[in-house]
Amino acid sequence: MGKLARTMGMMCVAGVAAASAADAQAQGTIKVGVLHSLSGTMAISETTLKDTVLMMVDDINKKGGLLGKKVEAVVVDPASNWPLFAEKARELIAKEKVDVVFGCWTSVSRKSVLPVFEELNGLLFYPVQYEGEESSRNVFYTGAAPNQQAIPAVEYLMGKEGGEVKRWVLAGTDYVYPRTTNKILEAFLKAKGVKAEDIMINYTPFGHSDWQTIVADIKKFASAGKKTAVVSTINGDANVPFYKELSNAGIKASDIPVVAFSVGEEELAGIDTSNLVGHLAAWNYFESVKNPTNDTFIKQWKTFIKNPKRVTNDPMEATYIGFKMWAQAVAQAGTTNIDAVRQAMYGQKVTAPSGFVSVMNTNHHLSKPVYIGEIRPDGQFNVVWKTKGPIKADAWSKFIPESAKLTADWTFPWVCGNCSEPKFKSLSN
C-alpha cells in the first residue's frame, strides 16, 4: 500500500513536472534572426532594414504574438564583412537556434551565407532587388529579379513616353550584381536590335568618388545624335558624388536620363535633388504611392523610429512583405518547423504597401508590380509609369542562353532550383 502511494505520488510529481515543462515550451519565444550590417560600408542601407524587422516584431507582439508565443528578435552585426556574414549566420542558426533569418543586402553577402543555410537547413528572407540567376531551397527572395526591375525600365525608355532611347550607357559598380544585370541587359538590348557600338559599359570600384572623367565620357557618348540614356547599377556611397557631378556638369534628365536600380528614397536623403529632377529609378514600391496599406506602413514606421523625417523604401517594403508572409505561413503550418513553413509559403498572399497583392511563387520569388519614378525636388519620386498588375519573377533570365534552359520550381515534380528537367517522373504511368 505504502509502495503504491509512493508510486502514485511520484507519478503526480512527474505529471506536474511534465505539465510545467510543456508550459515553459508554450511560454517560450519564437526567435527571429536579423543579419544586417550595423557598421561598415553597408550600415548606411542595412541599419534601416534591421529597424524594419524590429518594427514588425514589435507589431506582431502587440497583436498577441505568433502561435500564442512572443516573437523575439536576435540581432547580430556582420559589419559589412562578407566572410563574417557566414559566421554570424552559423551562430544564429546553430547557437541561437532561430526559426528564421531576415538579412543580407549585397549579393556577395548572400552568396557567402548560402552554403551555411543549405547545410543547416535554415530559412533566409532576402529583401533586396538582385541579379537573379539563383533559387535556393532555403532562401525566399522578396526583392525584384531583373525582369521585375531592369527589363521593364529599359523597355520604358525604349518606348515613346520614355523618349525612344537608341544609345545606352550601362554604368555600374564592379561586383556581381551590376555585372550580371548588365550581362542580361546587354543580351536584351541586342535582341531588340541595338548595335554593339551603341552600348557603352563602364565599371567603377566601390565608393568611387571622382566621376569627372566618366561624366565627361557619357556626355561625349551622348553627342552622337541619337537619344542616349544611362542605366545605373552604381551601388552605395558612390551615388552621391556621381549625381553631384552629373548635376554640376549640366546634364539634364531631359537630355540624358539616368535610370537607377539601387537609388531609392533613403539614398536620395543624402543629396540635394533640385538639379536632379526628372532622373529615374525603377522599383516595386515608392513611398509616394497612394493607398491605405502604404499610409499605414509609413505611419507605423515614423512612429516606431520616432522621427517624422525618415523615409520608407523598396527593400523595407520587401522586408515587410517577407515578414508578413513568414508569419502567415507559421500560423498556417501551426509550427516554426522550417520544412513545414516552407511548404506553407507557396501561394502565400500579402496586400503590400505597393498597392497590389504580392504572391509567393514556387520558384521562391514574388509577383510584384513595377513602378518607374522620377526624382522630385524633395527627394521623393513621382510615379510616371507602372505595370498593370504584378509581374511574376523569373529566377533565371530568358535572355542568357544558358539560363533560359533552367527552371526553378520547388514543388512536385520539379523540386529543384536550377534544373533543365524535373527531378521526379510523373507517378501516374
Partner 1 sequence: MSPLQLRTYLRTMVIALVAILFMLGLPTLAAALDIKDLIAGLAEQDPNPAIEALAAADNPKAKAALQALAAGNLYRRLADGAVIIGEKDGEMYVVTNATTGDIEDMAKEAELEVIVVDAAAKALLAGAGTGTPIGDSGPPDFASAVKALNADSFAEKGKAIERLTALADSRAVRVLEALTEGRLFIRKSDGTTVIGDRSGNDVRLTLATTLEPAGIVAPAEVEPVVINNNLRNNIREAVGRLGLLVADASQRRHAADALIGAATPETIGLLRDAFAKETDAGVKSVMALALAAAAVVDGDKAARLAAVAVLSGSTDLRVRSLLQSRAAAESDLEVKAAVVAAFNSVQRNLVFIGYAANLFQGISLGSVLLLAAIGLSITFGVMGVINMAHGEMIMLGAYSAFVVQQIFRSVLPAAMFDYYLLFAVPVGFLAAGAVGVALERGVIRFLYSRPLETLLATWGISLVLQQAVRSVFGAPNKEVANPSWMTGGFEPIGGFTVTWNRLVIIVFCFIVLGALALLQRRTPFGLHMRAVAQNREMASVMGIAATRVDALTFGLGSGIAGVAGVALSQIGNVSPNLGTIYIVDSFMVVVFGGVGNLMGTFIGAMTLGIVNKFLEPYAGAVLGKIAILVAIILFIQKRPRGLFALKGRAAEA
Question: Contact residues for partner 1 (CB under 8 A)?
Answer: 38-41, 43-44, 47-48, 160-163, 174, 202-205, 207-210, 212-214, 216-217, 219-220, 223-225, 237, 240-241, 244-245, 247-250, 252-254, 257, 266-267, 269-272, 274-275, 277-278, 280, 374-379, 382-385
CB of 362 to partner 1, least distance (A): 25
d(CA 130, CA 107): 7
How far from 215 is each of 206, 219, 230, 248, 273, CA to CA, in Å? 17, 6, 11, 10, 18
Rounded (10°) angle between helices 82-90 and 107-120 = 30
Shortest spacing between CB 36 and partner 1, in angstroms = 11
Cβ nearer to partner 1, comparing 70 with 376: 376
Q: In the bound complex, what is the minimum distance in angstroms from residue 274's beta carbon to partner 1?
A: 7
Q: What distance separates the 2 farthest-apart alpha carbons in the chain?
A: 106
The CB-of-402 to partner 1 minimum distance in angstroms stands at: 26
Nearest distance in Å: CB 321, partner 1: 22
Amino acid identity at 421 = E
Q: E strands, 218-375, where?
A: 228-233, 258-260, 280-283, 349-351, 357-360, 366-368, 371-375
Q: At what angle do helices 239-248 and 212-222 cross, to 10 degrees?
A: 50
CB of 223 to partner 1, least distance (A): 3
Distance CA(266)–CA(310), nearest Å, equals: 8
CB of 281 to partner 1, least distance (A): 13
**Which C-beta is closer to partner 1: that of 111 or that of 219?**
219
Q: What is the chain's alpha carbon radius of gyration, rounded to the nearest angstrom? A: 24
Q: Which is nearer to partner 1, 145 or 259 (CB)?
A: 259
Burial 110-144 (b: 16+ CB within 10 A, else e): bebbbebbeeeebbbbbbbbbbbbbbbbbbbbbbb
Q: Which is nearer to partner 1, 84 or 340 (CB)?
A: 84
| DSSP strands (E only) in 136-252 | 139-141, 167-173, 199-204, 228-233
Nearer to partner 1, 143 or 373 (CB): 373
Between 15 and 270, whose beta carbon lies closer to partner 1? 270
- Judged by beta carbon, residue 117 or residue 385, the one nearer partner 1 is 385
